[in-house]
Amino acid sequence: MKGDYQELVDEISALLGEPATLENRDFGLIAFGAHDSDDDSAMDPVRTRSILTRKSSPAVRAWFEGFGITRATGPVRIPAAPDAGVFRDRICLPVRHRGVVLGYVWLLDAEPGPSHAQLTAAMEVAARIGELLADEERAGADLSRELRAALTAERGWQYDMALTALRTALGPDAEGLHTVVCVAPWPTEDTPSPRTVPGAAALCTLPWRPAAGPVTGTPFGPAPATGPGSRTGTAPGRQATGPAPRTGTGAHPAPGRQSSGQASPTGSGSGRPGTAPGPDAGTGPGPYAPADGGAARALAVLVRLRSADNLSPATTAATRLRGSAGPAAVAGVATPRRGLAELDTAWREAGSGARAALVQPLLGPVAEWAAIGPYRLLTALPPAEPDPAVRALLTPAHTELARTAEVFLDHAGQAGRAAAALGIHRQTLYYRLSRVEQLTGLDLDAGEDRLLLHMALKAARL
């Protein structure tokens, strides 16, 4: 960026035949042209101080502003004032963008001085400098308040007002191509500066509620790594042999109904029909809750994109931020969109990607919403208690049975592959699956019962 400013300052110097200096609106030096003149008056005390200390004194600033440079839209000629250390006349070219003054280009003035055409050309270069300064100001601006308001507002007039404020703060960038990244869990309430995250237009922290609503039961071990070519939740390519040899009469109880000797679907799994789990059974903080019991947080990042086909700016930002968040953090990336109208939808997609990455390591640690498969549907479901048929299976006493059922279903009902993934004998697998059927009242030979069980197990992780 500094090189860009220097090139533009040199261009003005060449146009007007005088060395130029560029200062921001606070009179901080940004760039200056080479001084190769033998005229000592070219380096008067004010210009010398500006270059050596990279700033001007408050008194000098007030003196120059007294000539109306903050309001001017064209060149301003300022006479010499030796008592103030200004030995030579000056020309000030205000640097403006969208009507706002962002800096000043300074030149020494001498007879006959630059022509109107030269000054007009120099002002055009100053306008290009204004665009750069505006871009840098936006990139360094802390827009966390505006982004947080837009992501937390309900659809309606409040959402519209929040988007308007964010659009105003972002300027023309607001109508560009963006995506949203969710990094969670985020360890603090502090928001990184956009300058430290390439491509980031705005960042903010938000409460993290991935496991909204009560969940009965506990997580039942790590998400099964189903091996190459068998991603979680994929539809079976072929039907394998049936799950377990049946015992007893061989009759399968209807889904949701109780067969003789099995636990009630709403029971504790102890074999005592009708025994409901205690009020604290299987409840407690979900996998996203912080260890200290405080409020969980996520980091939201609005990332600028050049192409909808290239999400690398977003995934690069997510990877870098995960490094700051700690080894437990994951990230989700939303579908690219142009403009901000669907910002709330993009945030939900990014959060869904993060949730999926946390419960299914094969999808993460950075998961694009478009690539999380069935979790796109599961994460969109409203919070609800587990289905009555699987409630007993999700209690702590049956963690191993739940994991077995999930691995079996992840492997499309292929007993040999499921037993190998679990590291158990096939007969052990059959026994466990028969226990799953007894606890749930579901028939694992029935497609709809399998679908219900698989969805319930995946939803329990979320």
Do 51 and 190 share a domain, yes or no? Answer: no
Do 205 and 333 share a domain, yes or no? Answer: yes
pLDDT number for residue 235:
33
The answer as to whether 445 is a domain residue is no
Q: Which two tokens stand for residue 41?
A: 């008056």
Can you tell me the distance from the alpha carbon of 176 to that of 23, in angstroms, rounded to the nearest whole number?
30
Do 94 and 28 share a domain, yes or no? Answer: yes
> What average pLDDT does this structure show over 230-238?
35
DSSP assignment, residue 174? G
DSSP assignment, residue 364? -
Q: Which two tokens stand for residue 188?
A: 């603090």
Q: Is the separation of the CB atoms in 104 and 22 below 8 Å?
A: yes
* The amino acid at 7: E
pLDDT number for residue 36:
56
Q: Does 293 or 101 have the greater pLDDT score?
A: 101
Do 48 and 194 share a domain, yes or no? Answer: no
Q: Is the separation of the CB atoms in 22 and 107 below 8 Å?
A: no
The predicted model scores a pTM of 0.53
**Total number of domains in the chain:** 2
Task: Give φ, ψ of 62 to 5 degrees.
Answer: -65, -35
Question: Max alpha carbon distance in the chain (Å)?
Answer: 112
Do 125 and 45 share a domain, yes or no? Answer: yes
> What average pLDDT does this structure show over 230-247?
37
The answer as to whether 163 is a domain residue is no
* The amino acid at 77: R
The answer as to whether 362 is a domain residue is yes
pLDDT number for residue 449:
83
Q: Is the separation of the CB atoms in 95 and 102 below 8 Å?
A: yes
Can you tell me the distance from the alpha carbon of 326 to that of 188, in angstroms, rounded to the nearest whole number?
11
pLDDT number for residue 220:
63
Do 200 and 124 share a domain, yes or no? Answer: no
Do 135 and 181 share a domain, yes or no? Answer: no
pLDDT number for residue 456:
80
Q: How confident is the model at residue 364 (pLDDT cuts 50, 70, 90)?
A: confident
Q: What is the CATH number of the domain that holds 98?
A: 3.30.450.40
* The amino acid at 263: A
Boundary of a domain, candidates 352, 378, 404: 378
* The amino acid at 31: A
β-partners of residue 178 are: 304, 337
Do 135 and 71 share a domain, yes or no? Answer: yes
pLDDT number for residue 130:
92
The answer as to whether 360 is a domain residue is yes
Residue 118, CA distances (Å) to 20, 26, 42, 69, 216 in order: 14, 26, 21, 19, 76
| Bridging pattern class, strands 297-304 and 200-207 | antiparallel
Cβ-proximal residues to 152 (8 Å cutoff; 6+ apart), any chain: 206
Give the dihedral sign, CA 113/115/121/124: positive
Whether the upstream peptide bond of residue 185 has omega within 30° of 0, thus cis, is yes
* The amino acid at 395: T
Do 50 and 181 share a domain, yes or no? Answer: no
The answer as to whether 441 is a domain residue is no
Q: Is the pLDDT of residue 212 over 80?
A: no
Q: Does 134 or 126 have the greater pLDDT score?
A: 126
pLDDT number for residue 329:
92
Do 135 and 191 share a domain, yes or no? Answer: no
Q: Is the separation of the CB atoms in 322 and 183 below 8 Å?
A: yes
The answer as to whether 406 is a domain residue is no
Boundary of a domain, candidates 345, 378, 411: 378
Q: How confident is the model at residue 37 (pLDDT cuts 50, 70, 90)?
A: low
Q: How confident is the model at residue 80 (pLDDT cuts 50, 70, 90)?
A: confident
The answer as to whether 435 is a domain residue is no
Boundary of a domain, candidates 140, 159, 191: 140
* The amino acid at 32: F
Could you read off the pLDDT of 138-167 as tens digits, one per residue?
Answer: 655 678 889 999 999 988 999 999 999 999
Nearest to 44 by CA among 109, 105, 111, 96: 109
The answer as to whether 328 is a domain residue is yes
Task: Give φ, ψ of 200 to 5 degrees.
Answer: -80, 130
Nearest to 176 by CA among 418, 24, 343: 343
Do 74 and 135 share a domain, yes or no? Answer: yes
> What average pLDDT does this structure show over 55-62?
75
Residue numbers of the domain that contains 366: 176-211+287-378
Residue 416, CA distances (Å) to 1, 243, 419, 424 in order: 61, 10, 5, 10
> What average pLDDT does this structure show over 119-135?
91
Could you read off the pLDDT of 163-193 as tens digits, one per residue?
Answer: 999 998 888 888 999 999 999 999 888 788 7
DSSP assignment, residue 388? G
Do 36 and 129 share a domain, yes or no? Answer: yes
DSSP letters spanning 193-242? -GGGSTTEEEEEEEE--TT-S---S---SSPP---TT--TTPPPSS--S-
pLDDT number for residue 45:
56
